Amino acid sequence: MSFYSSVMEEITFYTGLSPAAFFTIAAMMIVVYRTVSAMFVSPEDYNKPPVISARTSSRFEEPEPRREPVQLGEITDWELRSYNGSDPNKPLLMAIKGQIYDVSAGRNFYGPGGPYAMFAGKECSRALALLSFKPEDINGNLEGLDESELAILEDWEYKFIEKYPKVGQLVPEHRTLQNEHTEQSQENLNNECKDEAK
């Protein structure tokens, strides 16, 4: 009995708690420890090797082999739209300041379902300068941008130059029509020269 009373006195002396409060707190700590431990690993599974689950998401599949970028030359904004990722056989393209980049390597970001999919197949200089996802900002109009926004756009442009191959350049719609008209005129002239030579 003297051992029991001396232990109870020591508990009170060292902790400042009554023996009932001390044992209640100790029991609560054990319950909390076991509850939290059970949330992470059960005792039966503690010594087992980890189980790796099968990957079902397409994002974790082996990446496709990298294709060589296709050089497009000069195309219009309308022609660029067909490279938005809707056709998996076509490269994924986007334009910054009139320069077209093949962003197929970033398909997880710019492809369908990606966080930046709205930029694919479009000239997106204004949206990048404004750090905007608004559809009305996804265009090449740089009017009204201040120096800091143009600096942001320049940073984006340097990132794209470093990371993605340049494959073409945007041209205005009317310029393409002029080029076709000029080529047609040149063909007609060549045909006339050949006819005269005969």
Instruction: Express each pLDDT in 8-22 by its tens digit.
Output: 888 889 888 998 999
Report pLDDT for 171: 93
| 179 half-sphere exposure, CB direction, 13 A CA radius | 9
Pairwise CA distance, residues 173 & 195, whole Å: 33
Residue 71 CB neighbours (<10 A): 11
State residue 115 phi and psi, 5-degree precision. -65, -25
Report pLDDT for 30: 93
Q: What is the pLDDT of residues 131-145, one digit of tens each?
A: 999 999 999 999 999
pTM of the model: 0.57
Residue 142 CB neighbours (<10 A): 13
Mean pLDDT of 135-157: 94
State residue 73 phi and psi, 5-degree precision. 75, -135
% of the chain residues with pLDDT over 70: 74
Mean pLDDT of 65-85: 86
Please report the sign of the dihedral spanned by the C-alpha atoms of residue 142, residue 104, residue 84, residue 113. negative
Q: Which residue has the tokens 């996804």?
A: 138
Report pLDDT for 141: 93
